Amino acid sequence: MHDYRLSDLLDMSLIQRLADSNFRASGIPMSVIDAIDTSVLVRAGWTDICTHFHRANPLSRQRCMESDASMYAKLASGEAYRYRCKNGMWHFAIPIIVSRRHLGTMFLTQFLFEGEVPEREYFIGQAQEFGYDLDAYLTAMDKVPVFSVEKVEYILAYDKALVRFVSGLAEQSLSVIETKKSLEERTEELQRAHDELEMKVKVRTAALAESNEMLLAEISERKRAEEKLRELSERDPLTMIYNRRKLFELLGIEVEKAKRYQRPLSLIMLDLDHFKQINDNYGHNIGDVVLKSTTGIIESVIRKVDIFARYGGEEFIILSPETNISGALVLAEKIRAAIEQHPFPAAGRVTISAGVAELADKDSGAGFIEKADNALYIAKKNGRNRVENSMEPGGS
């Protein structure tokens, strides 16, 4: 075999189309690198963190090169090698072997595994070390795709088959080239062999494209199913608003964001007054109707950016970003008045009590809820059907 490179044996525009199709189907960035000079032959779906930062800066780019170089000796024919580069991204490398020569490497690249806690301090340190714009860099990091181990293994199995397909195409192309050199005087016969090979390539390419479309449809269906399951796991089954578990997840995010950017954040805790009497007098079915109707009333008053969740039983919580204590008190009073004025034919008059709190720098998520809960207690103690402020005398 002469010193051919992968780009000598394959139409790289065809491989680029396959890569683009593969990225659309799987969502994982990929590339094909020349094994001889490490030039990038094909890339699809590369992330901003790599194109705008890691590979744009000479020092961090050197880390990319060192990481790639360190894994080449570890590649075995047909085997994928997983490694985390010096810039913190996960990659899989699959060698493309042609006539027992390593001519190229396919990378599944620039992603994180689901369940990993992003080492933000590490990335902040990198931004400082290389002079990146910190906010833009962290925004790019937050856009890095995240996959479960199971999904990566599923995609990896498919891409191993894709590498075998590419290697097979290169082997066939090499065969054509060698045949041309040895049979230059048999032009017509060689042309027929070339035409037959081209037809085989077209047929196999068409089959692969069809397979990609099927994979895309299957992944889309799985995404829909996963999204439905995720939504059900986050929602209260009666009212279909967020449940307690999802509330605490979003609370942690909003508290961190409010403290980082010094923005106001308020929390309203609501409780239906004498709800046990409704259940005792009219039955739990009517109680459920009251809970669902109350949910609808509250949703009609709050903003789209407000986070609304069932805290438990007849208790609800509203988390209001970019809202100080004064704005939260106005919102809570609107909700209280709307429920008091709403007719509940099966249950009679229904009212709520509310406690309102604004986040302070010293507050944890749990402490934030406790402040609103203490204000709610004062509202109950002072006669119900009222709104109390945690900052008022008697609040905590």
Task: Tell me which residues are annotated as active site.
Answer: 314
What tokens were used for 94?
């699959």
Contact 9, 98 (CB under 8 A): yes
Q: CA 229 to CA 322: how far, in whole Å?
A: 31
Using only the alpha carbons of the chain, give its radius of gyration: 30
C-beta of residue 318 within 8 angstroms of C-beta of residue 298: yes
Q: Nearest to residue 12, comparing CAs of 36, 52, 39, 50?
A: 39
The one-letter code for the residue type at 171 is: E
SS3 letters for the chain?
CCCCCHHHHCCHHHHHHHHHHHHHHHCCCEEEEECCCCCEEEEECCCHHHHHHHCCCHHHHHHHHHHHHHHHCCCCCCCCEEEECCCCCEEEEEEEEECCEEEEEEEEEEEEECCCCCCHHHHHHHHHHHCCCHHHHHHHHHCCCEECHHHHHHHHHHHHHHHHHHHHHHHHHHHHHHHHHHCCCCHHHHHHHHHHHHHHHHHHHHHHHHHHHHHHHHHHHHHHHHHHHHHHHHECCCCCCECHHHHHHHHHHHHHHHHHHCCCEEEEEEEECCHHHHHHHHCHHHHHHHHHHHHHHHHHHCCCCCEEEEEECCEEEEEEECCCHHHHHHHHHHHHHHHHHCCCCCCCCCCEEEEEEECCCCCCHHHHHHHHHHHHHHHHHCCCCCEEECCCCCCC
